A and B are shown apart, each in its own frame.
Chain A
Amino acid sequence: MTTSEPGRLDVEAVRADFPILARTVRDGRPLVYLDSGATSQKPRQVLDAERAFYEHHNAAVHRGAHQLAEEATDAYERARATIAAFIGAGSDEVVFTKNATEAINLVAYAMSNAATSGDEYHRFRVGPGDEVVVTEMEHHANLVPWQQLCQRTGATLRWFAVTPDGRLDLSDIDSLINERTKVVALAHQSNVLGTVNPVTAIAERAHAHGALVVADAAQSVPHMPVDVAALGVDFLAFSGHKMLGPNGIGVLWGRRELLAGMPPFITGGSMIGTVHIDHSTWADPPQRFEAGVPMAPQAVGLAAACDYLSALGMDNVLAHEQAVTAYALKQVGSLPGVRIIGPTDTADRGSAVAFTVEGIHPHDVGQVLDDLGVEVRVGHHCAWPLHRCYETVATTRASFYVYTTFAEIDALAEGIQAAQRFFGTAAAR
């Protein structure tokens, strides 16, 4: 198995770092974890970093002058620098949030807050006559906040359609992005189709009309080298838990000059400049957007995840996932009765492979796979409008990461055939 493993990662060595991958599920079956698109597993290095923080340096950061507070603040800000460097950003451009969802909400709420704030925030104002552009392939996290922004402000929501082969339909880009466009919010990589969108080209078009561009990078930053300067967007959101890091921490990256001119979303302690009984002023970014005692142990854990990924090399991570994805598209896509939802080759495509199995509901496919120890996601994957585009209620999705082996793809393909045999669908062989 290991000898035939293509790609540039020593997958067996990687797997040894993830204690959970050694466990069994459902009556002693080896765990085949193919749900990293939902959340990734964590290597010991990340768990150790978080534990070491609690054991040696724990204190509330940016408060207090005692030694532990100094060490904790130092660790927190070092973590910020590591994470910023991981995406080619400056430290002061990285805002910690709960997750990517909160990061996107931060921008959307800051925009509606701008409507009732002073003139210094005019850059972020939206209202009737303005347009917000999304795409049909968005995760609910990058769709619902914009629907709500439009509802609060009277702006109009518009969207790019998807093509039958799982790409964005750019044929009407000239009418969709125009002088009324204030925001273009889109996925860098689809969590269902795997499609990597031409974010840079779309951002250029949006910038020509003065619009802001928000990229949902929850599925791209974990899986490919991302350099915010090269990508050309204004804001970028991602979650720690999908990239080997802890739960409860995410990142909003924003261009320095934009963050400086953006009103806060969540207010309270440590995001202030001065506070009087009847009014307050704000701290500079990133603190302006980090109200309350921040999640320092999780930041330290996420920095350890970035270090882990950097040591593997993000180019190698990408190459490994491309090889696994190509193999999955071939092994799963060639099964009779199976239809891949999304691009069927690995060009501009990441490692989420969603599919339908003729005559078997995804819940039932997932149940048979689970019985065999193969853990996938079933349902609409928080992308309900996208599923409607493909005239299906739900799909089964397998998603991969640094620890995914070819043997696990074989187990997936065998499991799908087991489901076909169990339910007696015509396609079984």
Chain B
Amino acid sequence: MQLESMYQEIILDHYRNPHNKGLREPHHGEAHHINPTCGDEITLRVRLEPAGGSLDGSATVADVSYDSMGCSISQASASVLTDLLIGRTVDDGMRVLAEFTELMHSKGQGEPDEDVLEDAVAFAGVSKYPARIKCALLAWMAWKDATAQSLETEKEGAS
């Protein structure tokens, strides 16, 4: 069975006991993403805390909250994301996102950096199954959108 390589214990733990789940206020940006092949969806909110006067890449991700339904991979991925990104700067978070995206497209050949990805290294096995990559990336794409939106709102507010 190859199943264990995909469904690592870490993934199943996050799936059964998701961290930071539920939508919270206040928030700066919100994104709703759907996987059109299966109908799974996530609504994800981001709250940022500015480092200086305005919100930019140096701002801290103060909270990520979400409501979602979907398979074990998409649910666990959202949970892992909140653990990884809350407390980091936006720029740092984008680097983690880039690393995770690269791992997901590695077709099982990736050598994930555990220092950067922490629990998210458990998703390495998912990259062997093209049909499931989108499941793993759903929350991450929503976070990217919600964060970009937060920064945009700030720009519009400033102008």
Interface residues of A (CB under 8 A from B): 26-27, 361-364, 367-368, 371, 378-380, 384, 387, 393-394, 422-423
Contacts and interface: CB of A to CB of B under 8 A. Distances in A.
Contact of A379 (B38, B41, B129): B38
Contacts of B40: 361, 363, 393-394
Contact of B37 (A364, A379, A387): A379
Given A361-B70, A361-B72, A393-B69, A367 B6 contact: yes
Contact of B129 (A367, A368, A384): A367
Most chain B CB atoms below 10 A, which of A371, A393, A422 = A393
Interface in B47-94: 69-73
A363 B132 contact: yes
Contacts of B135: 363
A423 B1 CA distance: 14
Given A363-B132, A367-B129, A27 B2 contact: yes
Q: Which of B7, B38, B69 is most buried by chain A, counting CB atoms within 10 A of its CB?
A: B38
B61 to A, nearest CB: 28
B contact residues, range: 10 to 19
A26 B40 CA distance: 26
Interface string B106-145: 0000000000000000000000010010010000000000
Nearest to A372: B1
A376 to B, nearest CB: 12
26 contacts: A361-B40, A361-B71, A361-B72, A362-B71, A363-B38, A363-B70, A363-B71, A363-B72, A363-B73, A363-B132, A363-B135, A364-B71, A367-B7, A367-B129, A367-B132, A371-B3, A378-B38, A379-B37, A380-B38, A380-B39, A387-B39, A393-B39, A393-B69, A393-B70, A394-B39, A422-B3
Contact of B3 (A361, A367, A378, A387): A367
A303 to B, nearest CB: 33
Nearest to B126: A367
Contacts of A363: 38, 40, 70-73, 132, 135
Contacts of B38: 362-363, 378-380, 393-394
A379 B37 CA distance: 6
A262 B52 CA distance: 68
Interface of B: 1-3, 6-7, 12, 37-41, 69-73, 129, 132, 135
Most buried by A among B3, B72, B73: B3
A26 B132 contact: no
B2 A371 contact: yes
A393 B132 CA distance: 16
B97 to A, nearest CB: 22
A329 B7 CA distance: 29
Nearest to A366: B131
A329 to B, nearest CB: 24
Contacts of A26: 2
Contact of B7 (A27, A379, A422): A422
A38 B72 CA distance: 25
A426 B2 CA distance: 23
Nearest to A393: B39
A368 B3 contact: yes
A96 B39 CA distance: 33
Nearest to A27: B2
